[in-house]
Amino acid sequence: MTVLDWTIVGLYVALMLGIGYWVYRTKIKSFDDYYLAGRRLGLPVLIGTITSTYFGLDSVLGDSEMGFTLGASGLFAYPVVGTAMIIVLAFLGPSIKRRSAEMRTPAEIIGGVYGHPARLAAAIGSAVYSFPLLGFMAMGFIARVALGLPYWTGVVFGALIVVAYTLLGGMRADAITDAFQFGIIGVGVGAGALIMWGRIGNPQILEGLRSFVGGDPAAFLSPSGGWLTAGLFFTYAISAISVFCEPGLFQRIFAARSDRTVRSAFVIGALAYLLFGVCATFIGVLSAAAVGQGILPAEIHSDEVLIAASIRYLPVGLLGLFIAGILAAGMSTIDSQLVIAGANISYDAYKSVLRPQASDAQLIRVSRIGIVAIAVVSAALSFFFQRIMGAWVFISGALINSTLFPLYVALYGKGRVSRLAGNVAAVFGLTATIAYYLVLTLAGGLDPDWGTYILRFTLFGRPVALWQEYNVFVILPLVLILYWVIHAADPNKAVRAAARGGKA
Amino acid sequence: MNALRFWQLIVYFSAAVSVVGSVVYLVIYVRSLLRGQD
């Protein structure tokens, strides 16, 4: 990194803080202004913020990691599945917006139909999902790998910067910084892939890959990679269903100016997500060729290839811009999560249970206190958690199992509704996820080969291996069964007032 | 080599659209931001 690159990174951080202060001075008048940007987001900013929320740091680094380890077939692990999910949301999003006109959170939709217990369970699931633990860990990682600084500097300074502009500007500051990040990441991964391919050259790429895989690289360049089956692809798709109850995407749907804006933003966002994903995946593939050629070190870790390749290949200036974009990708995920977790505390818990008459000013104040508390706890935890995937499996399970089913029954179910069934299903989904995680961690063993907790036992004479990763496959069907059994047995079904702001 | 050429076409197309699209996007967005429309 040269002085010019460092200057660009510094200017970018200053721009984000400036945006937070500007929004704070001019735009924040009510809780809707703070949490939903006044429900006035137009198409350009919505495209940027939707894509940035979905194409966060985990996607940028994850895509290149998949390309590096799996080859071209890595495209099917994230980018293709993710694009398909966003396209489905392009069709669902407008109808979700119409059906929940005055709503602010998925937990509120659930609470409006079933009542407080279900709302609180969904709010806890959403807040757990929105703890920016992984984001802080990633900031420490970037500081170490890209900037050559100690891990703690990334966590502490990243937290201070992101908390500062989030406290000031709320969702609107988040959306504006997302839009800049979207543009910079697009230029960065696109230029990175073009420059890398051009500088290594086709014959050398093929030779490098041959040396990297230790034989014919045909499988490394094949779309199926010799390992991808329809069943595995389906499993990837199932594991990505958290997007359908992702509080960040719901927040953006509610914040959009109109339902037409939602559809257009999701369609364009899906295309951008796919294009960025192709570029990032192939930066990973090209990095494998560079390792085979001896240009990048053979001992490089798969999650470091994108940054190492950028430092090696991007010219002065563009490198600084790209590193700023990577930092912003991390920050834009963290700020979005902080705003949501703050609203889960202030709006879904404080206002709905403790103080229904709370004013907008009080809600914003409680949100800000919640944001600082969550940021401090997450930053502290980021020094202790070692297994990123273990944490991710737990938090996405908590969200999906508590929220997905009750939410979509509340939005799209027809006929009379059993409030008891909804409350039991949501509370069971949350508590069962926690119990599953605890039981597997305490009674199961950390498998050294797979790097995850597995509980092995015998059922009806057959050996069974329960993985930590299976929690959604085990618990979600139980939630579904529990809901329909109680729904069928409950004599006190209420007439649905649906999720349109009325009470069931 | 054929597979590599195929991916080269896909990657060059994706990368070119990403770079040009992102620059055009930033210009459009900053203009609408400065006009107070977003």
Residue A499: its pLDDT value, please?
Answer: 52
Pick from A234, A188, A303: nearest CA to A76: A234
The residue among B2, B19, B34 with the most chain A CBs within 10 A of its CB, best to mutate, is: B19
Q: Which amino acid is at A407?
A: L
Residue A504: its pLDDT value, please?
Answer: 38
CB A483 within 8 A of CB A428: no
| DSSP conformation letters of A368-411 | HHHHHHHHHHHHHHTTT---HHHHHHHHHHHHIIIIIHHHHHHH
Residue A416: its pLDDT value, please?
Answer: 80
Write out the two tokens for A34: 């703070």
> Is the predicted pLDDT of residue A3 greater than 60, yes or no?
yes
How far is Cα A476 from Cα A433, in angstroms, rounded to an integer?
A: 10
Question: Nearest residue on chain A to B37, judged by CA atoms?
Answer: A42
- The full 3-state SS of A9-22, as one line of letters, equals HHHHHHHHHHHHHH
> Is the predicted pLDDT of residue A500 greater than 70, yes or no?
no
Q: Does A182 touch chain B (CB under 8 A)?
A: yes
pLDDT digits (tens, 9 = 90+) for A163-200: 988 888 888 888 998 899 899 889 989 999 999 999 99
Pick from A402, A372, A475, A423: nearest CA to A113: A423
Write out the two tokens for A63: 């895509």
pLDDT digits (tens, 9 = 90+) for A355-380: 889 999 999 999 999 999 999 998 88
* Residues belonging to chain B: 38
Which of B14, B26, B32 is the closest to A183 by Cβ? B26
| DSSP conformation letters of A298-358 | TT--GGGHHHHHHHHHSPTTHHHHHHHHHHHHHHHHHHHHHHHHHHIIIIIIIIIII-TT-
Q: The dihedral of CA A132, A136, A141, A147: what is its sign?
A: positive
How far is Cα A412 from Cα A244, in angstroms, rounded to an integer?
A: 13
Q: Which is it for strands A445-447 and A462-467: parallel, antiparallel or unpaired?
A: unpaired
Q: Find the range with the poorest average confidence among A57-71, A260-274, A358-372.
A: A57-71
Residue A139: its pLDDT value, please?
Answer: 86
Nearest CA to CA, how far is A234 from chain B (Å)?
Answer: 24
Q: Does A267 touch chain B (CB under 8 A)?
A: no
CA A330, A334, A340 angle in degrees (round to 5)? 150
Residues of A in contact with B35 (CB under 8 A): none
How far is Cα A234 from Cα A244, in angstroms, rounded to an integer?
A: 16
CA atoms within 13 A on the CB side of A311: 15
Contact B18 A222 (CB under 8 A): no
Residues of B in contact with A282 (CB under 8 A): 7, 11
Residue A357 CB neighbours (<10 A) = 6
Which of B3, B8, B21 is the closest to A222 by Cβ? B3
Portion 40-79 of A in contact with B at CB < 8 A: 41-42, 44-45, 47-48, 72
CB A97 within 8 A of CB A500: no
Residues of A in contact with B25 (CB under 8 A): 44, 47-48, 182-183, 186
ipTM: 0.95
> Is the predicted pLDDT of residue A62 greater than 90, yes or no?
no
Q: Does B1 touch chain A (CB under 8 A)?
A: yes
Residues of B in contact with A12 (CB under 8 A): none
Write out the two tokens for B11: 């990657």
Nearest CA to CA, how far is A244 from chain B (Å)?
Answer: 26
For A108, the 3-state DSSP assignment is: helix
User: Which phi-psi region, left, alpha or beta, contains residue A30 (left: φ > 0; alpha: ψ -120 to 50)?
Assistant: beta
Beta bridge partners of A256: A41
Write out the two tokens for A270: 């899906």
Write out the two tokens for A476: 């979600």
Residues of B in contact with A182 (CB under 8 A): 22, 25
pLDDT digits (tens, 9 = 90+) for A279-328: 999 999 999 999 999 999 988 888 888 888 988 888 888 888 888 888 87
Which of A44, A45, A275 is the closest to B18 by Cβ? A275
Q: Does A322 touch chain B (CB under 8 A)?
A: no
How far is Cα A340 from Cα A129, in angstroms, rounded to an integer?
A: 10
Which of B4, B11, B33 is the closest to A193 by Cβ? B11
How far is Cα A254 from Cα A46, in angstroms, rounded to an integer?
A: 11
Cα of first residue to Cα of last residue in chain B, in angstroms, is 47
